[in-house]
């Protein structure tokens, strides 16, 4: 077990001023105070459309909090508030908080070498490369290890691809081993550590379960809502400090690398100029969730496990459920999350007191300079026409990619594309001419 001296903090009387305006449900029973959407000035007639959409996309649970109080809570298909469901990769965010608590208590530093806790030879990389991987790289998704064997945590699967800290890639295995780092540093199984440091003070339930190589977190929906409220209040449950290391907490919810501005310490971040997605081999200009408030931070998991926290608007939103099957599924369901926000914006209508969505892409250029690439119409039904500086070049290449990262079709010097054969969904166009290139998000309804 490794210890370092804990960082000292000055706890002022205004430790969490935000908590004065927030409601925190009791930790010993299921009571949760409510606020009606009508009292917020929301357009209540639009709620049924949202619920129909959620029901049609195999949702199990949906909750929206405003300032800690329950505004919307809906369960589908016989699921109840007492049933448990998996967080999938949304559980990474809970692990990030647990890592911060472990550092706060002096068990580890995220600047330590990962091999200090996992042992020499935890990868198949050359030793000097392995020794440059820090715990911080594991929670920033930039270990430099090859992500092709995404879940396998065995050393033969963890091969060198790039120096640590120089390449962002969504890679489950180093993340999973970050849980092993916490266990080695604290001397406690992850479920015992989280139960004592996070569950008890907040009233959360749940547990990590072993699923093949992965460590998957399961809980009730209200437990996820409690976790969102904890994040909204800067790591405090009411005035009780859970993660009071403000330097770590703030870094957790800011860009952790220049390779992906929209990723913190295992958290997804909205409102940045560009983002990368799992399996997509190029940088995408524009925010992660174009129709969500720009300040949204998100825990996102497979099959549409979603937790959104919008601190400056007092909102927590979550969805649990099975695969929504919108032909837009990645290990993180950004497109589905954005579809929910489109409907939430109709509910939080102009008369409401919550505003600030970024607005959708429509015909905005993504990549290059303004006007480098424009697609019309977008959304597209059958044919799309490309205009802009790139398609005026003597020679240019056009590529159509799906959200799973597969190249579907390519053309040379083609400015009118017939997409009638492709199924409804979200696609990406990449246009290249010499060293110049641009990317564009294309919707086919």
Res 326: pLDDT: 66
- Total domains in the fold of the chain: 1
Closest CA to 289 of 347, 363, 340: 340
CATH number at residue 435: 2.60.40.10
Task: Please check whether residue 380 lies inside any domain of the structure.
Answer: yes
Residue whose entry in the numeric block shows the structure tokens 């601190």: 311
Sequence-ordered strand ranges (E) for 190-314: 207-211, 214-219, 236-237, 240-241, 268-269, 274-275, 284-285, 297-301, 305-310
Residue 415 lies in a domain: yes
Tell me the residue range of the domain where 439 lies.
Answer: 374-444
Is 407 contained in some domain?
Answer: yes
| CA 346 – CA 84 distance, rounded (Å) | 30
Six-digit token string for 160: 């060198």
- Record the tokens describing residue 81, joined without a space: 């508030």
Secondary structure element (H or E) that encloses residue 71, with its range: strand 69-75
Structural domain includes residue 59:
no
pLDDT of residue 411: 94
3-class state of residue 208 by DSSP: strand
Query: Is the omega angle on the peptide bond into residue 120 within 30 degrees of 0, that is, cis?
Result: no
CB 91 within 8 A of CB 178: no
In a domain? residue 40: no
Number of residues in the chain = 445
- Does 385 map to a domain? yes
Tens of each residue's pLDDT in the chain, 445 residues = 443 333 333 333 334 444 558 999 999 988 999 998 988 888 888 999 999 999 999 999 999 999 999 999 999 999 999 999 999 999 999 999 999 999 999 999 999 999 999 999 999 999 999 999 999 999 999 999 999 989 999 999 999 999 999 999 999 999 999 999 999 999 999 999 999 999 999 999 999 999 999 999 999 999 999 999 999 999 999 999 999 999 999 999 999 999 999 999 999 999 999 999 998 888 888 999 999 999 999 999 999 999 999 999 999 999 999 999 765 556 788 989 999 999 999 999 754 443 333 222 222 333 333 467 888 998 998 899 999 888 988 899 998 987 666 788 999 999 999 999 998 888 888 888 887 777 777 888 8
In a domain, 238, yes or no: no
Q: How far apart are CA 147 and CA 160, in angstroms?
A: 10
Does 423 reside within a domain? yes
Is pTM beyond 0.85? Reply is no
Cis peptide before 377 (omega within 30 of 0): yes
- Where would I find the H helices in 105-220? 115-118, 127-130, 135-140, 172-186, 190-194, 200-202
């Amino acid at each position: 077990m490794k210890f370092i001296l804990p960082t000292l903090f000055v706890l002022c009387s205004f430790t969490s001023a935000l908590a004065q305006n927030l409601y925190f449900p009791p930790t010993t029973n299921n009571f949760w105070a409510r606020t009606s959407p009508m009292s917020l000035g929301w357009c209540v007639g639009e709620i049924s459309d949202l619920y129909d959409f959620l029901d049609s996309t195999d949702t199990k649970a949906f909750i929206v909090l405003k300032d800690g109080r329950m505004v919307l809570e809906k369960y589908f298909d016989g699921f109840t508030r007492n049933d448990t469901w998996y967080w999938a990769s949304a559980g990474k965010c809970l692990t990030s908080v647990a890592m911060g608590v472990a550092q706060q208590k002096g068990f580890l530093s995220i600047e330590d070498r990962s091999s200090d806790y996992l042992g020499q030879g935890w990868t198949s990389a050359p030793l000097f490369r392995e020794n440059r991987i820090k715990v911080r790289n594991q929670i920033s998704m930039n270990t430099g290890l090859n992500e092709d064997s995404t879940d396998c945590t065995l050393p033969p699967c963890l091969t060198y691809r790039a120096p640590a800290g120089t390449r962002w890639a969504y890679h489950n295995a180093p993340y999973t081993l970050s849980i092993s780092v916490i266990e080695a540093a604290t001397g406690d199984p992850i479920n015992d550590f989280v139960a004592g440091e996070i569950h008890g003070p907040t009233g959360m339930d749940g547990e990590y379960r072993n699923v093949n190589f992965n460590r998957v977190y399961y809980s009730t929906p209200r437990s996820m809502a409690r976790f969102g409220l904890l994040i909204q209040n800067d790591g405090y449950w009411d005035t009780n400090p859970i993660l009071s290391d403000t330097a770590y907490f703030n870094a957790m919810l800011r860009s952790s690398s220049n390779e992906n501005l929209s990723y913190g310490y295992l958290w997804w971040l909205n409102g940045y100029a560009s983002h990368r997605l799992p399996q997509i081999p190029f940088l995408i200009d524009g925010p992660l969730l174009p129709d969500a408030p720009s300040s949204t931070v998100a825990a996102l998991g497979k099959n549409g496990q979603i937790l959104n926290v919008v601190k400056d608007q007092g909102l927590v939103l979550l969805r649990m459920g099975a695969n929504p099957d919108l032909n837009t599924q990645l290990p993180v369901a950004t497109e589905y999350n954005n579809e929910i926000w489109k409907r939430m914006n109709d509910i939080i209508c102009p008369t409401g007191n919550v505003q600030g969505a970024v607005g959708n892409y429509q015909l905005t250029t993504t990549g290059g300079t303004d006007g480098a690439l424009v697609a019309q119409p977008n959304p597209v039904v059958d044919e799309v026409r490309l205009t802009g500086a790139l398609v005026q070049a003597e020679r240019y290449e056009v590529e159509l990619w799906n959200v799973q990262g597969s190249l579907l079709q390519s053309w040379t010097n083609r400015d009118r594309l017939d997409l009638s054969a492709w199924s409804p969904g979200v696609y990406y166009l990449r246009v290249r001419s010499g060293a110049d290139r641009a990317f564009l998000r294309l919707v086919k309804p």
